[in-house]
Amino acid sequence: MSTITAAITAVGAYVPDFVLTNEILETMVDTNDEWITARTGIKERRILKDDSKGTSYLAIMAAKDLMAKANLNPLEIDLVIVATATADMPVAATAAYVATEIGATNAFGYDLQAACSSFLFGMSTAAAYIQSGRYKKVLLIGADKMSSIVDYTDRATCIIFGDGAGAALFEPNYEGLGLLDEYLRSDGIGRDFLKIPAGGSLIPTTIDTVKENKHNIIQDGQTVFKYAVTNMADASEQILKRNNLTNEDVDWLVPHQANKRIIDATANRMNLEEEKVLMNIQRYGNTTSATLPLVLNDFEKQFKKGDTIIFAAFGGGFTWGSIYLKWAYDKK
């Protein structure tokens, strides 16, 4: 029997209509376009303005985009994983609702949370289900409504994050294409440097936690930047060494879109030419779990069957890693 690998066979995406530009942010906090661009590479980000809609809406829209493009019958989907840091609710799984709303009534679903590494870790999970032989179609969605946890008076964070969703379908492959290796890591030292302090079991929600603004994301920017640069670059270098790959073997780097300087540092460590490094951070900002699939969707037409793609991400916790994947199809 041929070895089963898990390949991405379709992608989809969704971003809200409202564009929050650097110029608009200048009217909200003490910042300016030149400062934001120089330090992050971000020019604009998308915001879901409708308060009645949550992360599930973004995920559903991305899934529907994928299904329409791939002519996929939702009844064929075995599993829906929603990678997210901003679930609709603390208990009810967002993925269960998303699966029902898209018509994937034969699927089971659950959420996966590893901050900005959620989609990367979700790729590993989806691939494992496929490689087990038990399931044929796993839909992995990365979605986050970051505007729901951002303090728009905090110039350190409000310039970074945006809302969006992307989706990827994983299916069995017998040609040696798909996910071939992974290097995934975590370190609890990061717990205090990038977090939402209250709202969990450690510090439950009270009137005081709301008054003290403890339900929005905070980060120690310098510390997170230092760890992100080192670990994303290390993981990417490690995955190359483990698979005897050189920079010449790599067709594309798909990095987490948190900061252009972090992406540049990772690419430099891998000695990659600029044209191999895929970026859309200038358009969307950091959409957390959605960054990797949004890149896949935006650049899908450039990928060729057999292309070597290296994924890299870093997130709160800390969580980080790299994945080596062979692209499985040519976009028609």
Catalytically active residues are 116, 256, 286
Rounded CA gap, 94 and 152, in Å?
A: 25
The span from the CA of 295 to the CA of 287, in Å, is: 11
* H or E, element range at 35: helix 33-40
DSSP assignment of 175-194: SS-EEEEEEEEE-GGGGGTE
Residues 178, 306 contacting (CB under 8 angstroms): no
Q: What is the dihedral of CA 245, 246, 251, 257, to 10 degrees?
A: 90
CA 194/CA 316 separation, integer angstroms: 5
H or E segment and range at residue 321:
strand 319-326
Other beta carbons less than 10 A from residue 131's beta carbon: 18
The residue behind tokens 């603004």 is 213
Cα angle at 119 between 118 and 124, to 5 degrees? 100
Quote the CA–CA distance of 189 and 326 in Å, as a whole number: 33
Give Cα 122 to chain centroid, integer Å: 9
Q: Return the SS3 of 310.
A: strand
Number of H helices, E strands in the chain: 11, 13
